């Protein structure tokens, strides 16, 4: 039975600084990029097609305004999504604001009423993902931040795949085994 659901924005905070600084043509130092790649949340993205070295290489190329060649399709997709975010910092603000104040406390009761989840503490982690919309590892729900869709006319209307963020999280939490 779930007792608490925590929203983890650790990686999002790292990336907000990176996106802001890089979009303003400031170079983000290699130590900071290495720190991002070393975060346990980011390690969940690593596969044979997208490694910590690939992540660091993409972030370094973005902050240094360098072109990359000979990278995997997954790394290219990650790079393209980061470029898109950096090109439209206004839209990024619309995406981030509701996520930063997201309160999912009422989901504890709803999820417990619908299914017996074997975890007491659950974490919802937003991170800049590669290809998957979301994935689950034990008691953690990882949501690809690039899939968040903001309505510029109604800042309270934030969706993922056309579903309100809170409802999306609720549905995915029901998949915890």
Q: What is the pTM of this model?
A: 0.94
Q: Please state, as a whole number, how many other Cβ atoms lie within 10 Å of the Cβ of residue 1.
A: 11
Angle between helices 106-114 and 165-173 (to 10 degrees): 40
* Calpha distance 163→148 (Å, rounded): 10
What is the radius of gyration, based on Cα positions, of the chain? 17
Integer angstrom CA distances of residue 83 from 57, 121, 132: 14, 34, 18
C-alpha torsion sign, points 103, 108, 109, 113: positive
Q: What are phi and psi of 81, to 5 degrees?
A: -65, -40
pLDDT string in tens for the chain (177-residue length): 999 999 999 999 999 999 999 999 999 999 999 999 999 999 999 999 999 999 999 999 999 999 998 899 999 999 999 999 999 999 999 999 999 999 999 999 999 999 999 999 999 999 999 999 999 999 999 999 999 998 888 877 899 999 999 999 999 999 996
| DSSP alpha helix (H) spans, the chain | 10-23, 30-38, 40-43, 52-63, 73-87, 89-100, 106-114, 165-173
Residue 158, strand partner residues: 150
């Amino acid at each position: 039975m779930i007792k608490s659901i925590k929203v983890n924005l650790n990686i999002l905070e790292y990336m907000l600084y990176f996106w802001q600084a890089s979009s303003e043509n400031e170079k983000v130092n290699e130590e900071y990029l290495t720190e991002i790649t070393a975060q346990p949340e980011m390690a969940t993205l690593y596969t044979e097609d997208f490694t910590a070295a690939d992540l660091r290489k993409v972030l370094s190329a973005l902050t240094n305004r360098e072109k990359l060649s000979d990278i995997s399709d997954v790394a290219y997709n990650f790079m393209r999504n980061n470029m898109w975010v950096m090109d439209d910092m206004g839209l990024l603000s619309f995406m981030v604001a509701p996520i930063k104040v997201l309160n999912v406390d009422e989901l504890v009761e709803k999820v417990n009423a619908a299914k017996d989840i074997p975890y007491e503490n659950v974490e919802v982690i937003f991170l800049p993902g590669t290809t998957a919309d979301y994935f689950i590892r034990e008691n953690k729900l990882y949501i690809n931040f690039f899939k968040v869709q903001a309505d510029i006319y109604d800042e309270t209307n934030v969706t993922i795949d056309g579903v309100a963020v809170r409802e999306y999280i609720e549905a995915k939490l029901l998949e915890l085994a």
